[in-house]
Amino acid sequence: MKPHPNPDALPARDHPHCMAMRDLLQKISSKWTTLIVTHLEPGPKRFTELKRGIGITQKSLTASLRDLERDGLVERVVTPTIPPRVDYALTPLGRTLLEPLRVLTAWAVEKAPEVATARAHYAARTAPKAASRGDT
C-alpha cells in the first residue's frame, strides 16, 4: 500500500488508508483496550490480575485480549508449569500506544470541567422541550 500523498489530509472514506485508520481507531478507542493497555504498562500481568484490576467480565477480557493479541499489541506468554501460568504483556508495538493514551488522558482530565459545563447547558436547553413533548 502506497503512503497517502498528504499525511495531514484525511483520506476519502473508501480509501484503504481511511478504512485501516477507522478500524484501528475503533479498536484503540475501546474503553477495554485503553484500560488493558494502561494496566499492562508496568509489566506483564496474569488474566485474573487484569480482570480484578479493570473490573471487566471474563468474557469481555478474553475477547479483548484476543483482539489485542491478533493486532500485535499484546502477547500471551505461557509458562509450562502445573498448572500452566499465562501472562499478558505489551509488545513493542503495544508500548507505542502508551504515549498517545497519556496525552488523551491528560486532555480528558483537563477538559472534564468544560465538558460537564457543556452537558449542563445542553440539559438546561433541552429539558423544557423534552418536558413539553412528554419525554422523561
Neighbouring C-alpha atoms within 13 Å toward the C-beta of 125: 6
Does residue 41 or residue 28 have the better pLDDT? 41
Instruction: Give this prediction's pTM.
Output: 0.71
Q: Residue 55: what are its φ and ψ, rounded to 5°?
A: 80, 50
Report pLDDT digits (tens) over 63-101.
999 999 999 999 999 999 998 899 999 999 999 999 999
CA-to-CA distance for 97 and 90, rounded, in angstroms?
Answer: 10
Query: Looking at residue 29, what is its pLDDT?
Result: 76
Report pLDDT digits (tens) over 116-133.
999 999 999 988 765 566
Q: Is 84 helix (H, G, I), strand (E, B) or coil?
A: coil
Average pLDDT over residues 21-27: 78
Average pLDDT over residues 17-44: 85
Domains and CATH numbers, the chain: 16-133 (1.10.10.10)
In the chain, % of residues over pLDDT 70: 82
CB atoms within 10 A of CB 73: 23
Query: Looking at residue 128, what is its pLDDT?
Result: 73
CA-to-CA distance for 29 and 32, rounded, in angstroms?
Answer: 8
Query: Looking at residue 10, what is its pLDDT?
Result: 62
